[in-house]
Structure 1
Amino acid sequence: MHTVRKRVGTTAAALATALGTMFGMSAQAQADTAGPGGPGGSGAEGTSGTVEFSVFDTGGGLPRDESFQLKDLSDYGIPKRTTEKLAAGEAGEAGAQAPAAVAAPSGSFDVVGGGEWKDKDGWDAVMRRGYWNGANAGFGMTKIDQKHNLSLDAVKATTMYPRPTPEGKQQIAPTTYNYRTEVNHVECSGWWIFRSCRVTETLTVLAGIDYRKLDDGKAFGAVTAFCEGVSGRCPDWVRNAVNI
């Protein structure tokens, strides 16, 4: 039996303190290599060892309670090239270290590059630069990155692929919605694309978006995003999901 641990925390009603399953993937791979040509040999087709990664639940149906093979990832919406890199034992990119917290700077309401997208219902979402004071005050990309260790892509994935329940997109104020989606941490062992894989942990990402319009005609945007049930920063494997 394979155990999946779900941590679903409670969400505070106030946006100042809280607003928080695309495959989230932090890939860490260790490959044992021997002579060329067979299992354990050098090259993509001869790589064996343990591979770990995570993926946001985008509705592809990745099984959480039974094993599957690495080669089956394409059936669950993961690009073939990504599967090949994992089979070759290539590690995913390390998460970028968040810069030190700063006071609210000028330009906090600037929209970051790539910071405009549509949610699952076609609503126009925005990510502004924001700020974080090192405690609880702040909003936008700066707070989401520095305090909670999540990326713009993680927020986009959460709003584009929320869980298919009322809590997936939940109105908490006249113009504000909380989105939730799950991220699965996967471990695989064995040889090449025939490694046996299983989900070992699942976390829920919550993202809060305020759709009230500002003077530039765009939504206020992302207030915050975090891993429910996790105090402080999300694990790197959530941030480094291979399918976002």
Structure 2
Amino acid sequence: MSGKRSRSALKNFLLAEDPVEIIAQPAEDPRASAMLAVGAVEGEALEVIRDVFAGTALPDDPVKVSRILRVRSEIQKEWSDVRDSFLAIGRALLSLEYSLTKMEWQRLRQGSEKLFPFSDATATQLRQIARAVDSGRLPREECPGSYGTAYQITLLSDAQMQIARDRGLIRPDVTRREIMSLRREALEASISRKSAPSLPGRLNESELRAERRNLARRREELRAELRAVETRLQHIDQILGPDEENESSTPA
């Protein structure tokens, strides 16, 4: 009996002296390490991922979350570079416009597709964006990365611009659809006001001025589009020749 107690006491002594040798340590989980790295990223981006992938197991996968965050960061940088590129192009075109005579500038616009990798209509949009940014109407840090979306913002009247700011729409990641929705809403409201009977002697001068500015912008857009159409027709006529054009317009 005493011998058994001695062996038991010895075993307990060894366990107490060096438990590390007896108890195996769990292997390090690489997924846990990855999760720690993910935890260092701002919480806002993680919340976005949880919202987008709600109902799936992805938010609990640190490897995939890390990959999405890394790609998101790369895309945001490239998107910012795109914005800087079209702003630089718009500013260069404005500088060129100021250095040429009116006739020379018109000729350049007519030959835009021969000189540059875009149409005159696109050049008009880029110039207008650059003008809005440089004037402070559309701050550079709030300018979207898509020139199409940025151009839609420049078409907003002062009153519409204020509404857009109040709604948080003047931001780099705003979508073209959001701005177009605001413009449609403003147009419908304007039509509704015009169709309603107005009190005699009342005239909203600020609204008329805003409407005139919008119409002037639209007129410039249509002129640019018409010039682009005429230029394209001239190119087609040069390729087909006058005989081809006459044959196509002559009934069989």
TM-score normalised to structure 1 length: 0.30
Bigger RCO (CA 8 Å, 6+ sep):
1
- Which has the larger share of helix? 2
TM-score normalised to structure 2 length: 0.29
- Which has the larger share of strand? 1
